[in-house]
Structure 1
């Protein structure tokens, strides 16, 4: 049995607007109605699909419910996943992060970014019988949510080229075309959003002011404090730190930001006695220590900002670096500051 974040349950209820008791709906799927909304709390996928189908069936405009539910999503709703999405440099970076971080929202869904002649497909992979109405509704809501958070973060006007669903068309498919503003293909061989390459390269707004302030105001100075070597290494390490929230940077990515080739970057580092891998590891540690020391970001978000797809992997790496867990390090630093 798979699991899906309870966040989506709340969103479905919020968009239903037809008089059903919210407490009763939450209790029907095993959620404490008095508990705060927490994206980390999961529900069984089969329960969620049945819940979604039940609510949509009793709704006067059930066909529109998954589209409105998806459209209501914002990056802030997703917690660490949303932070990873909006702190990418471009939409391509956001889409790539979805491939890495989707597991924090669901154990039954993954994403894959595929390059084709006609553009780039953001594919949703979710196993299950397409005759299951709840699963179909969930897939439609997911596609609508991808569009919503893309519109939120992109500095341009986001527009998909086409949308594809494996399931058959509803009685009124025009509703979907009007919502997405493009052709919607049902009975397709994939569940996917087709986006132009130009659209994916559009810069993001970097809408999280805390992240912007941290990187723009403090990071360069902090990393320089650790650095006693040549300025070239400082530039490389600073650039690595800027890219870490998109995952482990590649040599080619860092070199491109420095306007040199990957081969030149590696050669110049080697001449100074450094390796790119070592600089990435050092930059990760320094950035992690800085975030733990000077911000209140949850550990999951610190893990994402330092390039880890899972908090457990970050914890293991930090214990290797510092001989203690991230939580212990943060507590010790704050205790020392209070003395």
Structure 2
């Protein structure tokens, strides 16, 4: 509400147009449908005339304002464990979305996007969310920390220079997902407000919400994100994934069956997502792409890529 008024907007008009009331924000236990949340920020941007409203909101949004998942992040011992917690418990915070890390040699990408096909207007959400995630990194690494590059799935907006100013990094638009790149060594940073007791209080709450909201889509996203992090010389095995999730092999396989999933389908989906990500880098040779996806031969990768896209990797890059 303060930011709307700062940019000379009318809070009552904006809330009324998206069928919300100010009391909907009065309790931290209230929840908004994701589509309504996105519409709120799109309407705020429209009525205030500030097309970067979401960007400005995210830039000043502190990690603890995210609620339980924000407190879980800042009470973690390191940035690495903070991101792992956010990835594991993101479904407790927001549904119909993916949040995770992509590995690219010694570079990692934090990736976020809404996958609900009914939500088409989501630029403001993307920009405010990436700003929020940026501030979690800056909480650990200092206010001057900057990512290596930032990407957004929407097209280049007006006043795009404000994005580079906020992130202090090159910003690309019209990409496959919303993401920013950082060096692997950044994960070792200590969280200055780590609090094991607070984390032990919050984690059971997040776990219980995840169980209530568990869906095939969210479970598949979490597993797929872990597979993407461990692809390389060869794809990870069920046993390796079970160990990462801290459960016996048979329990992990049971969860896959209960969600109607197969491990090989998740490996293939992870490879496809990473392949499309790597193909955006024209300097990356196809043999290197194949190796990073766990294929021993370029021909095997080419066959798989043709099945995914209907064209060869070479033709995909030309077009």
Query: Could you state the TM-score of these two structures normalised by the residue count of structure 1?
Result: 0.55
The answer to whether the 8 A contact 1:130-1:136 is kept is no
Is 1:303 aligned to 2:290, yes or no?
Answer: no
Return the offset for 1:156: 7.8
Matching residue of 1:236: none
Return the alpha-carbon distance in structure 1 between the equivalents of residues 9 and 143 of structure 2. Answer: 38
The answer to whether the 8 A contact 2:9-2:48 is kept is no
For the residue of structure 2 that corresponds to 1:111, the secondary structure is strand
CA RMSD after TM alignment: 2.9
Matching residue of 1:96: 84
Return the alpha-carbon distance in structure 2 between the equivalents of residues 311 and 45 of structure 1. Answer: 16
Return the alpha-carbon distance in structure 2 between the equivalents of residues 168 and 183 of structure 1. Answer: 15
Return the alpha-carbon distance in structure 2 between the equivalents of residues 39 and 195 of structure 1. Answer: 32
Return the offset for 1:130: 11
Return the offset for 1:138: 0.8
For the residue of structure 2 that corresponds to 1:43, the secondary structure is coil
Return the alpha-carbon distance in structure 1 between the equivalents of residues 147 and 135 of structure 2. Answer: 11
For the residue of structure 1 that corresponds to 2:204, the secondary structure is helix
The answer to whether the 8 A contact 2:28-2:67 is kept is yes
Return the offset for 1:143: 0.5
For the residue of structure 1 that corresponds to 2:134, the secondary structure is helix
Is 1:107 aligned to 2:76, yes or no?
Answer: no
Return the offset for 1:31: 3.7
Q: Please show how residues 259-270 of structure 1 align to structure 2 within 5 Å.
A: none
Is 1:179 aligned to 2:166, yes or no?
Answer: yes
Return the offset for 1:128: 5.0
Return the offset for 1:191: 1.3
Number of aligned residue pairs: 211
Pair 201,54 (structure 1): closer, same or farther in 2 beyond 3 Å: same
For the residue of structure 2 that corresponds to 1:158, the secondary structure is coil
Return the alpha-carbon distance in structure 2 between the equivalents of residues 107 and 82 of structure 1. Answer: 16
Is 1:191 aligned to 2:178, yes or no?
Answer: yes
Return the offset for 1:185: 1.1
Matching residue of 1:59: 48
The answer to whether the 8 A contact 2:8-2:48 is kept is no
Return the offset for 1:178: 1.4
Pair 29,131 (structure 1): closer, same or farther in 2 beyond 3 Å: closer
For the residue of structure 2 that corresponds to 1:103, the secondary structure is helix
Return the offset for 1:110: 2.2
Is 1:47 aligned to 2:56, yes or no?
Answer: no
Matching residue of 2:299: none
Return the alpha-carbon distance in structure 1 between the equivalents of residues 32 and 104 of structure 2. Answer: 35
Is 1:165 aligned to 2:152, yes or no?
Answer: yes
- List per-residue Cα deviations over 1:6-42 (Å, max 9, x = no partner): xxxxxxx332223334344345434442465334422
For the residue of structure 2 that corresponds to 1:125, the secondary structure is strand
Matching residue of 1:82: 70
Return the alpha-carbon distance in structure 1 between the equivalents of residues 29 and 20 of structure 2. Answer: 13
Query: Could you state the TM-score of these two structures normalised by the residue count of structure 2?
Result: 0.58
For the residue of structure 2 that corresponds to 1:110, the secondary structure is strand
Pair 107,31 (structure 1): closer, same or farther in 2 beyond 3 Å: same
Return the alpha-carbon distance in structure 2 between the equivalents of residues 138 and 95 of structure 1. Answer: 19
Return the alpha-carbon distance in structure 2 between the equivalents of residues 111 and 170 of structure 1. Answer: 24
5+ long unaligned stretches in structure 2 = 213-319
Return the offset for 1:157: 4.6
Pair 33,188 (structure 1): closer, same or farther in 2 beyond 3 Å: closer
User: Relative contact order, CA 8 A, sep 6+: which one is greater?
Assistant: 2
For the residue of structure 2 that corresponds to 1:309, the secondary structure is helix
